[in-house]
Amino acid sequence: MAFTYFFRDLQTLELICDQTIPELRSQLEFKIWDAGCAMGPEPYTLAMLLRDRMDQPDFEKVKIQATDIDGSDLFDKIILAAEYPWEQVQRIPTEIFEKYFIKVDNRDYYRLNDEIRGAVSFQKHNLLSLNTIGKDFGLILCKNVLLHFNEQERIEVIGMFYDSLVEGGYLAMEQTQKLPAELADCFETVVSNARIYRKRSHKN
């Protein structure tokens, strides 16, 4: 579950930006939970995509809380430093890479700038504990994690996500992960070409 890379499943992330930015601009703070963030490429990719579409005052509202079970106890340090080797960043579009990364002296590593780093925080968390890390999230992103759970565990975790979202908040998953039938009344489908759902105001 620890493997991921920058700009993975870009279409879904861009669709998420299209859906959430109009509402984000009208709020004082927009909380995002990236559940299963590995070493940070996904939450940082989302932060860069959002910043590229927003001015600084609006981007300052974005608070991405990244979590992972992190059996290695390394992710916190890596995400805080936001330094990645060339082989992990070389596929990033050139204009974005040049805008947000700085070369680390005397090493073939590249560090995200302070603005992007400041939008993301990390904490260890086990989704199967079914304990939320907070409430009032405008977006929960959980990709390439639920496939490791059995069907009942998926239902319980997504139910916990439902309780963690604001009314009308968004849940995004990978393209291959369908919403369990038991939770169909909890969310509405937002787009036809990605697994992006919006929380309904009731839960059966």
Q: Supply the pTM of this predicted model.
A: 0.95
Q: What percent of the chain has pLDDT over 70?
A: 97
Helices (H), the chain: 10-24, 41-52, 56-59, 75-81, 86-89, 94-100, 114-117, 151-164
Domains of the chain as residue ranges with CATH: 10-199 (3.40.50.150)
Band of pLDDT at residue 1, cut at 50, 70 and 90:
very low
**What is the per-residue pLDDT across 80-122, written as a single tens digit (0 to 9) for each?**
999 999 999 999 999 999 999 999 988 899 999 999 999 999 9
